[in-house]
Amino acid sequence: MDIKYTDIVSLFENALAQKPQKELDEVGIVLQVGDNICRVHGLKNALYGEVINFEGGNKGIIFNLDEDYVSIFLLYNHIPVEESEVVKRTGHMFKCGVSMDLLGRVINVLDVPLDSMGPIKFEEYRNIEQPIAGVVDRMPISQSLSTGTLSIDSLVPIGRGQRELIIGNRNTGKTALAINAILSQKNKQVYSIYVSIGQRQANVARLVQTLQQQGVMDNSVVVAADAGDPVLTQYLAPFVGCTIAEYFRSKGFDVLIVYDDLTNHATAYREMSLLLRRPPGREAYPGDVFYLHSRLLERAGRLLGGFSITALPIVQIQADDITAYIPTNLISITDGQIFLDTRLFNQGIRPAVNVGLSVSRVGGAAQTPAIKRMTKSLRLELAQYNELLDFAQFGTELDEISQRRLARGERAVELLKQAQFVSYTFVDECLMLFLLKEKFLDILPVKQIHEFATHFVSFVQNIYKEFYDTIYKSQEITDDQYQEMFKIAREFSKLYVPKK
């Protein structure tokens, strides 16, 4: 048969004309791959942030749109991607599954359960980037979120909807403090989400075990992106956690979310930006790392209707330097910080809260009235004590008032020490602070203070249960109740026999 050249061309043209042009555009080809990132040619209409499917089963998200190619970060590092592999657009952004069934579960950012408790039924899939509620949609923070830690609830109180940064060197009890806050939400209709970013798997496993042992896992979700996971999943983890938190909030619950820690998150994002060849800025972080964290943390808060997301981001610093780039960013984004001090930690003052450097910019307004009444002068007393302590180190003779202040300060510091995973109710805290405020502890040797205070609390819980419950319900202490407390404390002091 005699086929002309022009015929072949027209045959091709006809064939192409029948195929919708759009479909051709949806497919691209991998040009280059390495370091969990690949360049793909041919995805002309692709969007920033769009999810891309690879022929070989991998998935990725677009992070750069160049003229001739797009740069895609991969979601799996165990599925190989080859050059010339075909990829397809999905037309949607990265989504995560949400459902009430998530409570009690440990998942990764790809909705895969890590706890061998079977598949999870999701109610819907939501974009992990959501618009942030404006000023008009928000409500003032007026309810307290008890963290179960005496030094936090009395000195740096946190309100529901607040964002409070936990900042400190390595190994200063940052995670322990956040876990205590989660433990304290038991039986309180507050759901907790713990987002682990770039930590060792063993740490996460230990944490889950603790939550289970303490009976709070049923009210919690753990989202984990371990140090060994692709850098993209570490970047996504806090956004997935936040999306789940927003879902719970939309269902009418208060939520507590812990991001452990955003230093690793920033490092993951820096790695991605450098691989994308974006210009490095201060400490080699990209210029938009502030926006990264602000758009995450602005999603916390209390909305009209009264339901809230309280965020406890954690940031690790080096050699006490709170002026590094990421810590200063986070300090300015959040509503206060809890500074954990290595020096105090090593002295055995745990939780090692440095009262001078810790603040809560809104919590005071939301502090439970009963605790507020007990803590009026505590901060000042501690400040005076710390000042005197420096002075006393010179071995100078101190006058009587200073000596008394030192003795009181010493007792306050002793009382604020708290073992790991021991969480107090606010009434327990009130009772202990009462003992300090009304000088019941002044006559005791420092070593006995803890025992005395904890025994007093159990004494009230058991013998004066009604009194205890009334305060628990009203959250306030009336003048009469205050007098009653005096009576009970005197009675207890007489009965108390210290352990030998």
Ligand X SMILES: Nc1ncnc2c1ncn2[C@@H]1O[C@H](COP(=O)(O)OP(=O)(O)OP(=O)(O)O)[C@@H](O)[C@H]1O
The site for ligand X (CB under 6 A) is made up of: 168, 170-176, 316, 350-351, 418-420
- CB-based contacts of 332, cutoff 8 Å, min separation 6: none
3-state secondary structure of 145: coil
Place of tokens 């926006």: 291
Q: Residue 152 or residue 460: which is nearer to Mg ion going by CB?
A: 152
Binding mask 333-362 for Mg ion (x = CB under 5 A): ------------------------------
Q: What's the min distance (Å) between Cβ of 345 and Mg ion?
A: 13
Q: What's the min distance (Å) between Cβ of 258 and ligand X?
A: 11
Please state, in angstroms and rounded to a whole number, the distance separating the CA atoms of residues 470 and 187. Answer: 18
Please state, in angstroms and rounded to a whole number, the distance separating the CA atoms of residues 116 and 118. Answer: 6
Q: What's the min distance (Å) between Cβ of 175 and Mg ion?
A: 3
For position 423 contacting Mg ion by CB under 5 A, the verdict is no
Clarify whether 361 is annotated catalytic: yes
Closest residue by Cα to residue 189 from 151, 150, 218: 218
Q: Which of 108, 175, 367, 375 binds Mg ion (CB under 5 A)?
A: 175
Q: Which does 351 bind (CB under 5 to 8 A by kind): ligand X, Mg ion, none?
A: ligand X
Q: In sequence order, what are the beta bridge partners of 165? A: 337
Q: Residue 195 or residue 477: which is nearer to Mg ion going by CB?
A: 195
- CB-based contacts of 341, cutoff 8 Å, min separation 6: 168, 172, 320, 352, 353, 354, 357
Query: Looking at 138, 295, 361, 373, which residue is catalytic?
Result: 361
Q: Residue 175 or residue 267: which is nearer to Mg ion going by CB?
A: 175
- CB-based contacts of 423, cutoff 8 Å, min separation 6: 147, 148, 149, 180, 183, 184, 186
Q: Residue 96 or residue 179: which is nearer to ligand X going by CB?
A: 179
Q: What's the min distance (Å) between Cβ of 214 and ligand X?
A: 14
Q: How far is CA 449 from CA 45, 345, 445, 499, in A?
A: 69, 19, 7, 12
Q: Residue 210 or residue 470: which is nearer to ligand X going by CB?
A: 210
Which segment (38-46, 167-175, 186-194, 364-372) binds Mg ion by CB under 5 A? 167-175
Please state, in angstroms and rounded to a whole number, the distance separating the CA atoms of residues 365 and 344. Answer: 28
Please state, in angstroms and rounded to a whole number, the distance separating the CA atoms of residues 106 and 196. Answer: 11
Q: What's the min distance (Å) between Cβ of 379 and ligand X?
A: 20
The residues of the shown chain that bind Mg ion, judged by CB under 5 A, are 175
- Please give the positions annotated as active site: 361
